[in-house]
Amino acid sequence: MAASGIRLTRSVRAKPCRSTSVKQVLALAKPPRQQSVLRAVATAQPITVPDATKFDFEQYMGSTAKKVNEALGVAVPLEYPEVLTESMRYSLLAGGKRVRPALCLAACQAVGGSAEAAMPAACAMEIIHTMSLIHDDLPSMDNDDFRRGSPTNHKVYGEDMAILSGDALLAFAFEHIAVETKGVAPERVLRVISELARASGARGLVGGQVVDIKSENVEVGLDTLEYIHLHKTAALLEASVVCGALVGGATEEQIERMRVYARGIGLAFQVIDDILDVTKTTEELGKTAAKDLASAKTTYPKLLGIEKSKQVADDLIKNAIAQLDDFDPNAAAPLVHLAKFIGYRQN
């Protein structure tokens, strides 16, 4: 439970239905008996944010990204069939902030674990994220030509290879955790694999993507919009944090606090993403701007306005950081600053 009374609960698993109509999909998307995060935020009390001003976040992220990039390069070598591994490496090593691996490593260290033990899981988070970007950019999905300032995978290697490289990355993520995680109890490794599998499938980012697709050109409310982004975006951020905590030996209470923290920053991430989509240029974002407007998607600015959306993101970040109050301030500093970075980023 967050200090403000916000509770980010697991969404209720939707029952399968025979029809795939938009109306039924959206009806299933609404989590029954679940208080809206956004509505809870509106009544939140002021929160004291931990002081971590002495932490050098820029240096931390630069160092972390370098280590993650090196580990990813080793994990996915260029090998036969070269066209497949070239395609995988093209998107996997294309840069990016490496926020998900950083969250995984930071969560592990916050509970007393080592970054080395969590690195395979951290790499797996980025591998899954890369898969989702490759598939999201396809013409049948978001139909994007640019990602991180470069042509998207299917523009370089073709749609067939983009699909297959995404599939290969998805499978490899779980193999990498199982084979490369060292010095961690087997039952915890199994929980990490289970956590990531849930976040990657129908109960996570795939389910969120489905409802997102079915919501195009359809008027939806905050509950459905929240469902989309808690699954499509926040689920993998949640897995990154929780898996890092699991590897680090966290208690169940610590894991639950980490989970609530991650859901808060995950939803804030998407609120900010929606704002940036309408306030930044393609050059500033490194990807196509105003694509949500072009596809008639419902966004937080569309429902709440830009200023209210900014306030919602700010409150979500503060409530997320409050979950770290019981952790050692120095150990939790990376997580505090990662939350602030997500809430106030400009691209």
pLDDT digits (tens, 9 = 90+) for 220-271: 899 999 999 999 999 999 999 999 999 999 999 999 999 999 999 999 999 9
Residue 343 confidence (pLDDT): 86
C-alpha dist (Å) from residue 344 to 63, 184, 226, 318: 21, 35, 20, 12
- Average pLDDT rounded to a whole number, residues 203-219: 91
In the prediction, which pLDDT does 255 show? 97
φ/ψ (deg, to 5) at 147: -145, 125
Q: Which of 128-137, 295-304, 318-327 has the lowest mean pLDDT?
A: 295-304
Residue type, 20: T
Average pLDDT over residues 268-282: 83
Give the residue with greater pLDDT, 295 vs 135. 135
Instruction: Tell me the average pLDDT across 333-346.
Output: 90
Residue 50 has pLDDT above 80, yes or no: no
Confidence bin at 49 (pLDDT 50/70/90): very low
Tens digits of residue pLDDT in 115-167: 999 999 999 999 999 999 999 999 999 889 999 889 999 999 999 999 999 99
Pull the structure tokens for residue 30. Answer: 């609404």
The answer to whether the beta carbons of residues 238 and 123 sit under 8 Å apart is no
Res. 25: pLDDT tops 60? no
| Residue 303 Cα distances to 131, 274, 275, angstroms | 30, 11, 12
Domain boundaries, the chain: 56-344
- Please provide the distance, in angstroms rounded to a whole number, between the alpha carbons at the two ends of the chain: 30
Mean pLDDT for all residues in the chain: 84
State what percent of residues in the chain have pLDDT above 70. Answer: 79
pTM for this predicted structure: 0.82
What is the structure's pLDDT at 54? 74
Give the confidence band of 217 by pLDDT, cuts at 50, 70, 90.
confident
For residue 64, pLDDT beyond 70:
yes
Would you place residue 278 in the very low, low, confident or very high pLDDT band (cuts 50, 70, 90)? confident
pLDDT of residue 287: 52
Length of the chain: 347
- Dist. CA 105–CA 334, nearest whole Å: 9
Q: What is the CATH number of domain 56-344?
A: 1.10.600.10
